[in-house]
């Protein structure tokens, strides 16, 4: 667990990050609900809206909100880059010790934010919202989401009911070095767990969509599965790619040896022709494939070591260091 940093009286404590794409009708009621939920906490906060290339009046509404309330910060994308990019930009801009992402379509309930924050301050690094009573169409959204959640939990080993719920509360430190791509914002809990953080799930409210239309498509589930393959590789083999690639090379070479042995046995005992034997051709293919796997694994090792060395990164994570000034970055 990475403890929250003590703040001074003037620093931002809570950053709420909200990606926006054609949500013009939702923004004013959402702002009112956010203010009603956050002001009673009596803690400095900011609202970071990232307009992801909206084509409706979302940007005009955001400009009005920012003009009347300096706590409203707005990031405007040149075009639509997707929810993950919007969240990544919001996380980078956030100055709070606690970061709370949520959807801007009013399906997430701002009144749930205080309980997520209180749970986070029990000593967790991430409190993930769980839409236990989801108000979405079953076959087009809820069922594919459940399948994806089960698959992600199985592959990553981090058991959550609802990876797709945007409403979460993070200790800002665990997001410090994250770079998000594709649909990977849904997989942050796996990264947090891999980095040694503590993750807990908390039921939150969920409402039917009131305005506009959903931007969710089944293709996002497909992209999530592809991203999951990337995450699985990064979590298990990011510092030792040869372990992943090399084992398939050794397996291929071993199968080639077996195939060649069987070819030799048939030649010596039954006198079968060598060059027309499919096992002989298979053994050559398996040998070549095995050596290529190992070769590419070695290249990946060189690339990974160049990455770490050129950026002065370590292949390990330090939670804290005591009485060691040279590890000052680890204590921050």
State the DSSP string of 256-296. Answer: HHHHHHHHHHHHHHH---STT-HHHHHHHHHHHHHHHHHHH
Identify whether residues 178 and 231 lie together within a single domain: yes
Indicate whether 97 and 141 sit together in one domain.
yes
> Both 220 and 94 in a single domain?
yes
One domain for residues 174 and 280: no
Q: If we measure between CA atoms, which residue out of 161, 155, 163 comes closest to residue 220?
A: 163
Interval 217-268: pLDDT, tens: 556 666 667 777 777 776 667 778 888 888 999 999 999 999 999 999 988 8
Note whether residue 216 is domain-resident.
Answer: yes
Q: Is residue 8 part of a domain?
A: no
Which contiguous run of DSSP H or E holds residue 32?
helix 24-38
Q: What is the mean pLDDT of the chain?
A: 84
Would you state the pLDDT for residue 178? 73
Low-confidence ranges of the chain (pLDDT < 50): 1-10, 328-332
pLDDT of res. 8: 41
Q: Which domain holds residue 37?
A: 14-236
Q: How far apart are CA 51 and CA 20, in angstroms?
A: 5
Q: Is residue 155 located within the same domain as residue 255?
A: no
**What is the full DSSP assignment across 70-123?**
TTEEEEE-SS---HHHHHHHHHHH--SSEEEE--SSS-B-GGGHHHHHHHHTTT
Same domain, 226 and 279: no
Task: Tally Cβ neighbours within 10 Å of residue 53.
Answer: 18
CB 232 within 8 A of CB 288: no
Same domain, 230 and 247: no
Q: What's the pLDDT score for residue 192?
A: 85
Of the residues 217, 236, 255, the one at which a domain ends: 236
Residue 279 lies in a domain: yes
Per the domain annotation, does 102 fall within a domain? Answer: yes
Specify the number of domains making up the chain: 2
Residue 185 belongs to a domain with what CATH number?
Answer: 3.90.550.10
pLDDT of residue 14: 97
- The pLDDT tens digits of the residues spanning 189-230 come to 888 887 788 999 999 998 887 776 666 555 666 666 777 777
232 shares its domain with 282: no
Nearest Cα residue to 95 out of 135, 40, 45 = 45
Give the whole-angstrom CA distance, residue 125 versus residue 240. 27
Residues 32 and 143 in one domain: yes
178 in any annotated domain: yes
Is 79 found in the same domain as 127? Answer: yes
* Domain co-membership, 160 together with 251: no
Would 328 be classed as within a structural domain?
no
9 found inside a domain? no
Indicate whether 182 and 70 sit together in one domain.
yes
């Amino acid at each position: 667990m990475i403890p929250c940093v003590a703040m001074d009286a003037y620093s931002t404590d809570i950053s709420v990050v909200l990606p926006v794409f054609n949500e013009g009708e939702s923004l004013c009621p959402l702002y009112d609900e956010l203010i009603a939920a956050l002001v009673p906490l009596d803690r400095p906060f900011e609202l970071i809206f990232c307009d992801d290339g909206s084509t409706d009046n979302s940007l005009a509404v955001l400009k009005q909100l920012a003009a009347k309330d300096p706590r409203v910060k707005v990031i405007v994308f040149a075009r639509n880059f997707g929810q993950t990019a919007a969240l990544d930009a919001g996380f980078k801009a956030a100055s709070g010790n606690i970061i709370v992402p949520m959807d801007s379509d009013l399906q997430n309930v701002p009144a749930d934010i205080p309980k997520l924050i209180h749970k986070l301050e029990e000593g967790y690094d991430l409190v993930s919202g769980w839409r236990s009573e989801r108000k979405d169409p079953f076959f087009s959204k809820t069922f594919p989401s459940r399948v994806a959640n089960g698959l992600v939990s199985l592959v990553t080993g981090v058991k959550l009911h609802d990876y797709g719920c945007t409403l979460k509360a993070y200790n800002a430190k665990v997001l410090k070095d994250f770079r998000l791509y594709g649909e990977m914002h849904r997989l942050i809990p796996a990264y947090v767990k891999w980095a040694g953080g503590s993750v807990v799930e908390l039921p939150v409210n969920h409402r039917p969509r009131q305005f506009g239309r959903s931007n969710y498509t089944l293709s996002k589930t497909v992209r999530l599965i592809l991203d999951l393959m990337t995450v699985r590789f990064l979590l298990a083999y990011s510092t030792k790619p040869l372990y992943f690639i090399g084992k398939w090379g050794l397996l291929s070479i071993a199968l080639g040896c077996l195939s060649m042995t069987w070819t030799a046995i048939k030649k010596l005992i039954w006198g079968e022709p060598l060059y027309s034997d499919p096992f002989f051709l298979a053994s050559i293919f398996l040998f070549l494939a095995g050596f290529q796997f190992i070769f590419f694994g070695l290249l990946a090792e060189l690339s990974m070591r160049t990455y770490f060395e050129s950026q002065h990164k370590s292949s390990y994570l330090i939670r804290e260091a005591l009485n060691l000034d040279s590890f000052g970055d680890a204590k921050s």
